[in-house]
Amino acid sequence: MSQYLILIYDDEAAWDSADERSSADMLEGHYAFGARHEKDVVGANALQPTATATSVRPDGSGGFTITDGPFVETKEALGGYYLVEAPDLDAAIAMARQIPVFSGGLEIRPILVHTTTAGTGGGNRP
């Protein structure tokens, strides 16, 4: 079984302007997804709005620049995620298709599993 991170991108303005019924329906859709895939969901969280983000970037001289706001400014912001276990990408896609969004979309990324060899540090990514 492999793990996949399903990133949820949506337009924050759609959330801000949604009426109470639409917001409740969206949340109910997420609760239903969680219940339907309880054995497959390893973790999940919604994120605070991008206005609460802080970005940290190397400044090129060994230090860091810290700025308020998201790392990248886009219309569709990262709003939450599900970490799921699935036998393959097709199964992860089938799960992702059940996740509600207002007008955005989803990104599915397989989790990279590091392997180490004694004494070498190993692994296939830094």
Q: What's residue 125's pLDDT?
A: 55
Residue (of 98, 12, 94) closest to 48 by Cα position: 12
User: Where residue 102 sits, what CATH number does that domain have?
Assistant: 3.30.70.1060
Residue 75 in any domain: the answer is yes
Which pLDDT value is given to residue 124?
A: 55
The answer to whether residue 58 is domain-embedded is yes
Residue 34 lies in a domain: yes
Q: Are strands 2-11 and 64-68 parallel, antiparallel or unpaired?
A: unpaired
Whether 122 is in a domain gets the answer no
pLDDT tens digits for range 50-61: 999 999 999 999
pTM of the model: 0.84
The DSSP 8-state label assigned to residue 114 in this structure reads P
Share of the chain above pLDDT 90, in %: 74
- Residues 117, 52: contact at Cβ < 8 Å? no
Asked if pLDDT for residue 119 goes beyond 60, the answer is: no
**How many domains does the chain contain in total?**
1
Question: Per residue in 99-117, pLDDT tens?
Answer: 999 888 999 999 998 887 6
